Chain A
Amino acid sequence: MGIMQANQLVAQLSVDDRKLVKLIEHGIPVTRRPYAEIAQQLGITEQMVVARIQALIHSTAIKRYGVVVRHHELGYKANGMVVWNIPDESVSEIGKCIGEYNCVTLSYRRPRRLPDWPYNLFTMVHGQNREAVIAQVNHIVQRCNLSHIEHTILFSMRRFKQRGAKYTRMEHATDHTASPLSENLKSIKQRAHV
């Protein structure tokens, strides 16, 4: 995928495929015939549903299809977003090197926002605890020859929300200005200014 092109590469999914994506994006049911209800809603056969999912996998719109586990619940309590400031000409090579470790679940190039944010490579490292994450990062620094590269680990603290991405269009009619949460924020800010 070319640099700066990623957000322009939005696949032109057909209306039917968008409907299908909406029905499977939060997972399929765990029942004998998980595609039966989806097929009924789309007015096609179960075989056709499966074939269309297969086509989305072939076109790489779907990256993988199967069981999605939760690291935290499985004992991987620590999660560090490790960000690196890598010379532009090396970022692709180093990003691939880091992405090959099993403890790593993401390796993305993102833009710098100077002067506030100098880091251009984002990797997610999971471990059973903080020390395990630090040890993994040190191991990666050695193996990928990164001792001269500036990096920092942003450990996750509280998790406010976690769920798979929702891609389909939403009716976004929530009026946040009138919500109790916005009132809370106002009162916190007013207290701070007293």
Chain B
Amino acid sequence: MNKIDVLNTLEKNLLNNFQHDMSLSTMPYADIARDLGVGEDKIISTLTELQNRGYISRIGPVFTANRIGVSTLAAMAIPDDELECVARIISTFPEVNHNYEREHHYNLWFVVTACSEEHLDIVLHEIEQHAEHPLMSLPMLEDYFIDLGFKLPWA
């Protein structure tokens, strides 16, 4: 059975209805509680539980790429027997997030984010040195996606 089938209505509403335009006030969970007709304590305990179960990664901002920092998508083609080790080396860099193995000749894909172009170049160079493989850097040129969150299928 799919995990989302066992969620109750409150959990589904919390996951789906507040992905964008969440109330910006000093007590946002009280606002959500009023909106859903549930007590604030219940909202806080349910959100905490959803975070603990890993369904919610965080509550807060999603930044527009390249507006407050610079980032790039990097790809590497790594021999199978080295992949796990190289991936772990790369993951130790605090500038790296979303580090995935993908099914392709280019089998390791990760995003590198930094506060400036100069810092980004330094980090990319360091990664190549420590991983001992070249990387292909594919910075975003244009964004065609308007992010309104991810509509889950029960809505």
List A residues at the B interface (Cβ < 8 Å): 1, 3-4, 6-7, 9-11, 13, 18, 21, 24-28, 30-35, 46-47, 50, 53-54, 56-57, 60-71, 73-75, 81, 91-92, 95-96, 98-99, 102, 104-111, 113, 116-117, 122, 126, 128, 152, 154-170, 172, 174, 176-177, 179, 181-182, 184-185, 188-189, 192
What chain A residues lie within 8 Å of B75 (beta carbons)?
Answer: 117
For the complex formed, measure the closest distance between the CB of A154 and the CB atoms of chain B, giving whole angstroms: 4
With A107-B143, A161-B99: A65-B92 Cβ-Cβ less than 8 Å: no
Residue of A nearest to B25 (CB): A50
What chain B residues lie within 8 Å of A185 (beta carbons)?
Answer: 82, 85-86, 89, 131-132
| Contact B61 A24, beta carbon cutoff 8 Å | yes
Alpha-carbon separation in the docked complex, A69 to B65 (Å): 18
With A30-B59, A69-B150, A113-B136: A74-B27 Cβ-Cβ less than 8 Å: no
User: Of A21, A30, A99, A168, which one neighbours B44 at CB under 8 angstroms?
Assistant: A30
User: Of A73, A160, A167, which one neighbours B115 at CB under 8 angstroms?
Assistant: A167
Taking chain B's interface residues, is the majority helix, strand, or loop, or is none over half, making it mixed? mixed
| Contact B24 A69, beta carbon cutoff 8 Å | no
What chain A residues lie within 8 Å of B71 (beta carbons)?
Answer: 165
For the complex formed, measure the closest distance between the CB of A68 and the CB atoms of chain B, giving whole angstroms: 5
What chain B residues lie within 8 Å of A174 (beta carbons)?
Answer: 92-93
What chain A residues lie within 8 Å of B66 (beta carbons)?
Answer: 6-7, 9-10
Contact with A along B139-150 (1 / 0, CB 8 A): 111111111111
B96 on the interface (CB 8 Å rule)? yes
Taking chain A's interface residues, is the majority helix, strand, or loop, or is none over half, making it mixed? mixed
What chain A residues lie within 8 Å of B27 (beta carbons)?
Answer: 32-33
| Contact B102 A81, beta carbon cutoff 8 Å | yes
Tell me which of A57, A66, A111, A170 has the highest count of chain B C-beta atoms within 10 A of its own C-beta: A66
Residue of B nearest to A29 (CB): B59
Contact with A along B1-38 (1 / 0, CB 8 A): 01110000000001100111110111111100000000
